[in-house]
Amino acid sequence: MNAPNRSGSKPVTPEASTNETGVQTVSGNRGLMLEERLIFEIGTGETTGVDLPQPSPEAPNRLGGLDRSAAIGLPGLSEPETVRHYTRLSRQNYAIDCGIFPLGSCTMKHNPRLNEKVARLHGFADLHPLQPEARVQGALAVIDELAEWLLALTGMQAVAMSPKAGAHGELCGILCIRAALEARGDPRAVILVPESAHGTNPATAAFAGYQVEGIPATAEGRVDLAALTARLGPDVAGVMITNPNTCGLFEPDMIAISDAVHAAGGLVYCDGANFNAIVGRVRPGDLGIDAMHINLHKTFSTPHGGGGPGSGPVVLSEALAPFAPLPFVSRQPDGHLHLIEEENAGEEHGQAFGRMSAFHGQMGMFTRALAYILSHGADGLRQVSGDAVLNANYVLRSLEDVLDAPFAHSGPCMHEALFGDAGFAEGIATLDVAKALIDEGFHPMTMYFPLVVHGAMLIEPTECESRASLDQFIASLRAVAERANAGDPLLTQAPLLAPRRRVDETAAARKPRLVWTEPTGGDTAAA
């Protein structure tokens, strides 16, 4: 039998690459930005990175009749080639460790390595959800202490720790509201959602079976209190409000909104995704809020992006506390921590609406969030929100002369600065500005959200960025904005300097090519 080929990938004819200076490279590389083909194009089925001994003919077959009858078509590479392939791909990615990540509404801030070290400690990283209580008292203590912090910071009466992320937490809060209304024999059909709320709010209400009705915003970008109070009635279960809202503004009428909803027999849900702007300064419980989820992966700096991981505990008012879902941690008189489950809930917790998940939450997120909270303390968390607001206002005031800032007249913003496309020359869109930022070496801001501003650009610098970092970003965005206002046609072709040029994003989303096939006629079919 021939020995396996360990010499590396199959030969590939490189595509010449011409950069903006007209210099052509035979390799396809552009300086140290290395061109990287698909792994199927550089590996072969005959290549292997390891030598395995041939099994003895006398050895028993342990495959249970599942022997492979044909080649599986997976590419093989040597170990150096494998490492280089994925390292090169990683260099074409953008992350918070590379630079500012200005996504508005997403709070993509630095994740302290202390958090990661704690989450990897023996006893946390290797937990199993079915371990006996006596062997996980430390983990339950983390959940319990984190819960106490969340209650203290929000001024609420109870907290459900099991929701896995923001939208999951929203659903938990709405189900608590539904359970409370049904318990008093007053089921209602409508949830009011201001147009300045997060986009998941109406989706959550609809998923829970409610009719959703919108409430308009004022010219100042805040909830129209008169329109809200006029719509309240016996069919309204409650309101889902985001505060600070997606225009980056605090709702000064929040107490009046809560009072009006309560007077009409409804309950108030607050989207807490923007809690990073007010943590340590405003307690939602003091604003009359009945339920609010908290994105631990935003406010308390755990890894965020790529679909997870996340965590969305829900704090509840006295009116909703009896309906909190199971399970949750209870501290016994002897100090022992006990996990309250359905089978041992007892009469005291008999009104729990059920479970949000099989187990008790995201342990890795809990340890990271508690490490972040303890390392900052109450005063440090207050500074976090203050610095986040300061940075956002610095961005807003530094760019309002070249970018349309529709709510700048409303006063200071909170944690994020909102701009629109008014003022761009004909034929230039927000997408073009975002793509040009890629050429400047920055991840684009959030685009086309919120919907209340045409061509919206939502920028959240967070508290982690220095003035020097912000100045660099502002200078680049200012230069791009000036080009947009002047109608520079090159903007519609951006990015020009990225590893790939502009793609058809609509086709990519609707007609993705997820399977690689052998090229025919010189064309490569790729993911």
Model confidence over 479-493: pLDDT tens digits? Answer: 999 999 999 999 999
pLDDT at 8: 47
CA-closest candidate to residue 340, choices 506, 140, 80, 87: 140
pLDDT in tens, 274-309: 999 999 999 999 999 999 999 998 999 877 766 567
pLDDT at 360: 85
pLDDT in tens, 319-345: 999 999 999 898 888 889 988 887 677
Mean pLDDT of 20-43: 79
Furthest C-alpha separation in the chain: 85
Q: Which residue has the higher pLDDT, 505 or 304?
A: 505
Please give the model's pTM, rounded to 2 decimal places: 0.89
H or E, element range at 388: helix 363-399
* CA distance from start to end of the chain: 34
Extended beta strands in 382-480, E state: 417-419, 446-447, 457-459
| HSE-CB for 257 with a 13 A CA cutoff | 28
pLDDT higher than 90, residue 513: no
Mean pLDDT of 7-29: 59
Three-state DSSP class for 237? strand
CA-closest candidate to residue 238, choices 177, 166, 315, 313: 177
Contacts of 490 (CB under 8 A, 6+ apart): 483, 496
pLDDT at 514: 85
Kindly report the CATH class assigned to 381-509: alpha beta
Alpha-carbon distance of 303 to 110, in angstroms, equals 9
pLDDT higher than 50, residue 227: yes
Task: State the sign of the Cα–Cα–Cα–Cα dihedral 313, 319, 325, 326.
Answer: positive
Mean pLDDT of 468-473: 96
Mean pLDDT of all residues belonging to the chain = 89
Three-state DSSP class for 26? coil
H or E, element range at 340: strand 337-340
CA-closest candidate to residue 170, choices 139, 142, 191, 147: 191
Alpha-carbon distance of 303 to 294, in angstroms, equals 15
pLDDT in tens, 192-218: 999 988 889 999 999 999 999 999 999
Multiple choice CATH, 113-369, 3.40.640.10, 3.20.20.100, 3.30.70.20, 3.90.730.10: 3.40.640.10
Q: Which residue has the higher pLDDT, 394 or 58?
A: 394
Contacts of 194 (CB under 8 A, 6+ apart): 214, 215, 216, 217, 223, 224, 228, 239, 241, 242, 245
Q: Which among 35-44, 83-92, 382-391 has the top mean pLDDT?
A: 382-391
pLDDT higher than 50, residue 1: no
pLDDT at 348: 67
Alpha-carbon distance of 78 to 68, in angstroms, equals 23
pLDDT in tens, 108-162: 899 899 999 999 999 899 999 899 999 999 999 999 999 999 999 999 999 999 9
The two tokens of residue 340 are 């309250």
pLDDT at 5: 42
The two tokens of residue 226 are 């008169």
Ramachandran category for residue 91: left, alpha or beta (phi over 0 → left; psi -120 to 50 → alpha): alpha
pLDDT higher than 50, residue 475: yes
Q: What percent of the chain has pLDDT over 70?
A: 93
CA angle 264/270/275 to nearest 5° reads: 150
The two tokens of residue 127 are 């937990």
The two tokens of residue 438 are 């890629």
Alpha-carbon distance of 22 to 24, in angstroms, equals 6
Mean pLDDT of 427-443: 96
Alpha-carbon distance of 349 to 346, in angstroms, equals 6
pLDDT at 180: 97
pLDDT higher than 90, residue 23: no
The two tokens of residue 133 are 């209580």
Enumerate the domain spans of the chain.
113-369, 381-509
Mean pLDDT of 223-243: 97
Alpha-carbon distance of 17 to 11, in angstroms, equals 18
pLDDT in tens, 81-123: 999 999 999 888 888 888 999 999 888 899 899 999 999 999 8
CA-closest candidate to residue 496, choices 480, 512, 515, 510: 480
